[in-house]
Amino acid sequence: MTSTGSPPREVDCVIVGGGAAGLSAAVNMGRMRRSVLLIDERDRFVWKHVAHNYLGFPDGVPAVEIRRLGWRQAAKYGAQLLLGHVATAARDGDLFRFRVERLPEGGAWANRPGPIVPRDAEMAQIFGEVPDGGPIEVIARSVILATGVFGHFPEFPGRDQCVGRSLFWCIHCDGYESIDRVVAVVGHDEEAISTALDLLDFTDRVTIVAGRAEGFDVPSSRLADLAEAGISAFPCGVSEYQNSDGQMQALVLDDPARTRLAVEQVYTVRRSKAANDLARQLGLDLNPIGQIVVTSEQHTNVPGAYAAGDATSLHDHQLSAAVHEGNQAACAANYHLYRAVQRAPGD
Ligand SMILES: Cc1cc2nc3c(=O)[nH]c(=O)nc-3n(C[C@H](O)[C@H](O)[C@H](O)COP(=O)(O)OP(=O)(O)OC[C@H]3O[C@@H](n4cnc5c(N)ncnc54)[C@H](O)[C@@H]3O)c2cc1C
């Protein structure tokens, strides 16, 4: 790894990712009195959505607010929070070495929302930032990767305001918000077909649009299932997502008639991909779709390296699972840091 000139920071645990999983890990590592550095690129989790199924918030809680509460809690227990991009990770004997860079202009993620969390006084007070002087090097005795996933959302003007308000992909998260609404699903594969059929548990006003000129890519029997369920299917693309102030209004279809479907909500297929660059660099096992393989205690195949949250294959991708996995990863990393005398004989 290239030297950065300044002496490396040394900590008990580096946590990469400051979403629900990383922040939960930071709170718990801090409470176990470990020195923790959490590094986050800041800008992906923070779509303007409100989680309605997260326990303890009967009126729902904005994703941004969960993050903000998490910063406060982690900082209270001594975790250091750093804004930056972890560009490289390497094993060095029993240690882990990281190179952390300044965020590229506009953030490092493709297909992400704009910077929705403003750089306000609280953030400035809690977060350090990789300085202008160049990247920094960090050495840690353990690492927790909580890097989340890349999701794909259609690109259209007003998209960022619609995500989580009238543009969804997860029935488990948001189906309840679709009760008796006029909903269109955009997608050409089995995932889209089952989403449309599952939505009938919430509303009988469901339409599906393939979202591409080639039409649907499912057996004709599935199109028959849609017809039998009363779901109209349009085998064409979408040329316009009409919306205003976060509210979907209509889809203009890419068919000869330029059909305009009035809608209140749209579901798309997100095709999440685990953010696994650093996991690959550390030699962690990945499953066939690139998620980090972990045990139920968040161990990876590399001693001292743990993973939590959406980046793993363990649970459904939900806030509650991310918080649980972050907590578990902290317990496992803390155990890894125990002195020999603290371990059960033979462990
Ligand atoms: C629009 C939307 C609506 C949702 N609604 C709900 C809901 O209603 N209920 C629910 O339970 N769940 C919901 N979810 C899912 C929930 O948000 C996720 O399951 C949860 O955020 C996962 O947490 P995480 O910490 O694993 O990943 P994330 O929250 O994605 O955090 C990962 C973090 O890691 C950072 N990162 C990655 N790589 C690097 C790197 N190399 N260097 C520095 N930082 C890095 C990213 O910038 C990001 O901040 C929703 C998700 C979205 C996107």
Domain ranges of the chain: 9-151+272-342, 159-268
* pLDDT tens figures, 309-324: 999 988 888 999 999 9
Residue 44 CB less than 6 A away from ligand 1: yes
Rounded to whole angstroms, the Cα distance separating 337 from 344 reads: 14
Atom 1 in ligand 1: residue holding the nearest Cα:
164
Question: For residue 42, how far is its CA from the centre of ligand 1 (angstroms)?
Answer: 10
Residue that the structure tokens 């909580």 belong to? 146
pTM of the model: 0.93
Total residues belonging to the chain = 347
For the cut 70, the answer to whether the pLDDT of residue 118 exceeds it is no
Q: Is 306 in the pocket of ligand 1 (CB under 6 A)?
A: no
Do residues 166 and 266 lie in contact, with contact meaning Cβ atoms separated by under 8 Å? yes
DSSP one-letter string for 324-335 = HHHHHHHHHHHH
Q: Which of 130, 147, 170, 328 to mutate to test the pocket of ligand 1 (most atoms within 8 A of CB)?
A: 147
Reported confidence tier of residue 40, pLDDT bands at 50, 70, 90:
very high
CATH class for the domain made up of 159-268: alpha beta
pLDDT digits (tens, 9 = 90+) for 224-259: 999 999 999 999 999 999 999 999 999 999 999 999
Whole-number Å distance, alpha carbon 149 to ligand 1 midpoint, is 7
Domains 9-151+272-342 and 159-268 agree in fold: yes
| pLDDT score recorded for residue 152 | 78
User: Which residue lies with its CA nearest to atom 29 of ligand 1?
Assistant: 19
Beta bridge partners of 78: none
Pocket of ligand 1 contains residue 148 by CB under 6 Å:
yes
Ramachandran class of 215: left when φ > 0, alpha when ψ lies in -120 to 50, beta otherwise? left
Higher-confidence position of 47 and 86: 86
Phi and psi at 184, nearest 5°, equal: -120, 140
CATH class of 9-151+272-342: alpha beta
Please give the distance, rounded to the nearest whole angstrom, from the Cα atom of residue 64 to the centre of ligand 1: 11
Residue identifier of the C-alpha nearest atom 53 of ligand 1: 45
CA atoms within 13 A on the CB side of 48: 16
Q: Whose CA is nearest to atom 12 of ligand 1?
A: 318
Is the minimum distance from the CB of 20 to ligand 1 under 6 angstroms? yes
Whether 192 and 219 have beta carbons less than 8 Å apart is answered as: no
Is residue 110 scored above 50 in pLDDT? no
DSSP summary character for residue 107: -
Cβ neighbours of residue 144 closer than 8 Å, sequence gap 6 or more:
13, 14, 15, 16, 22, 25, 29, 298, 306, 307, 308, 326, 329, 330, 333
224 CA distance to ligand 1 centroid (A)?
A: 36
Q: What is the pLDDT of residue 223?
A: 97
Question: Which one has a higher pLDDT value, 3 or 124?
Answer: 124
Straight-line distance from the first to the last Cα atom of the chain, in angstroms, rounded to the nearest whole number:
33
Q: Is 311:184 a contact under the CB 8 Å cutoff?
A: no
Beta strands in the chain (DSSP E): 9-16, 36-40, 50-51, 61-62, 80-83, 85-92, 95-101, 127-129, 136-145, 149-150, 167-168, 183-186, 206-209, 232-234, 238-244, 247-253, 260-262, 265-268, 273-274, 305-307
Ligand 1 lined by 310 (C-beta under 6 Å) = yes
Residues 89-116 have a mean pLDDT of 74
Give 45 Cα–ligand 1 centroid separation in angstroms: 4
The ligand 1 atom nearest the CA atom of 163: 1
